[in-house]
Amino acid sequence: MKKIIMAVPLVEMDGDEMTRVLWKLIKDKLILPYVDLKTEYYDLGLQNRNSTQDRVTTQAANATKKYGVAVKCATITPNKQRMEEYPELTEMWKSPNATIRGILDGTVFRAPIITGNIKPTVRTWEKPITIARHAYGDVYKAAELITGEPGECTLTFRGESGAKQSISVAKVGGSAVWLGQHNTDESIRSFARACFQYALDTTQDLWFSTKDTISKVYDGHFKDVFETEFEAYRIRFEAAGIEFFYTLIDDAVARVVRSKGGFIWACKNYDGDVMSDMVSSAFGSLAMMTSVLVSPDGHYEFEAAHGTVTRHYYKFLRGERTSTNPVATIFAWTGALKKRGELDKLDDLQDFACRLEAASLNTLRDGVMTSDLASLVDDGTAVRAVDSWEFIGEIAKRL
In angstroms, the Cα distances linking 98 to 75, 137, 268, 328, 382 are: 12, 12, 17, 20, 42
In this chain, which of 64, 75, 107, 295 binds ligand NAP, going by CB under 6 A?
A: 75
Q: Specify the residue, 246 or 270, whose C-beta has the smaller distance to Mg ion.
A: 270
E strand or H helix that includes residue 269? helix 269-283
Residue 11 interacts, among ligand NAP, Mg ion, none and using kind-specific CB cut-offs from 5 to 8 Å, with: none
Q: Specify the residue, 273 or 390, whose C-beta has the smaller distance to Mg ion.
A: 273
Q: Specify the residue, 223 or 299, whose C-beta has the smaller distance to ligand NAP.
A: 299
Q: Coil, helix or strand for 265? A: strand
Q: Answer yes or no whether residue 229 interacts with ligand NAP by CB under 6 A.
A: no
Instruction: Write out the binding residues for Mg ion, residues 259-288 only, by CB under 5 A.
Output: 273
d(CA 204, CA 225): 21
- Residues 265, 131 contacting (CB under 8 angstroms): yes
Tell the smallest beta-carbon distance from residue 309 to ligand NAP (Å).
4
Tell the smallest beta-carbon distance from residue 105 to ligand NAP (Å).
18
**117, HSE (Cβ side, Cα atoms, 13 Å):** 18
Stated length of the chain: 399
d(CA 388, CA 366): 16
Tell the smallest beta-carbon distance from residue 323 to ligand NAP (Å).
7
In this chain, which of 309, 346, 369, 399 binds ligand NAP, going by CB under 6 A?
A: 309
Q: Specify the residue, 273 or 342, whose C-beta has the smaller distance to Mg ion.
A: 273
**Number of residues in contact with ligand NAP, rule: CB under 6 A?**
17
Residue 273 interacts, among ligand NAP, Mg ion, none and using kind-specific CB cut-offs from 5 to 8 Å, with: Mg ion
d(CA 253, CA 262): 15
Tell the smallest beta-carbon distance from residue 45 to ligand NAP (Å).
11
| Torsions phi, psi for 191 (to 5 deg) | -60, -50
Tell the smallest beta-carbon distance from residue 110 to ligand NAP (Å).
11
Q: Which residue is at the shortest CB distance from ligand NAP?
A: 307
Q: Specify the residue, 25 or 176, whose C-beta has the smaller distance to ligand NAP.
A: 25
Q: Answer yes or no whether residue 325 interacts with ligand NAP by CB under 6 A.
A: yes
Label the pairing between strands 10-14 and 39-43: parallel
Axis-axis angle for helices 55-67, 96-104 (nearest 10): 40
- If you count DSSP H runs as helices and E runs as strands, how many of each does the chain have, helices first? 15, 18
Label the pairing between strands 107-112 and 300-304: unpaired
Q: Answer yes or no whether residue 74 interacts with ligand NAP by CB under 6 A.
A: yes
Q: Specify the residue, 63 or 332, whose C-beta has the smaller distance to ligand NAP.
A: 332
**Number of residues in contact with Mg ion, rule: CB under 5 A?**
1
Q: Which stretch binds ligand NAP (CB under 6 A): 53-61, 121-129, 299-307, 353-361?
A: 299-307
Q: Which stretch binds ligand NAP (CB under 6 A): 159-167, 273-281, 300-308, 352-360?
A: 300-308
Q: Answer yes or no whether residue 356 interacts with ligand NAP by CB under 6 A.
A: no
- Residues 369, 391 contacting (CB under 8 angstroms): yes
Instruction: Write out the binding residues for ligand NAP, residues 92-151 only, by CB under 6 A.
Output: 97
Taking residue 370's Cβ as centre, other Cβ atoms within 10 Å add up to 21
- Residues 35, 27 contacting (CB under 8 angstroms): no
Q: Which residues bind ligand NAP (CB under 6 A)?
A: 74-77, 97, 286-287, 303, 306-311, 324-325, 372
Q: Which residues bind Mg ion (CB under 5 A)?
A: 273
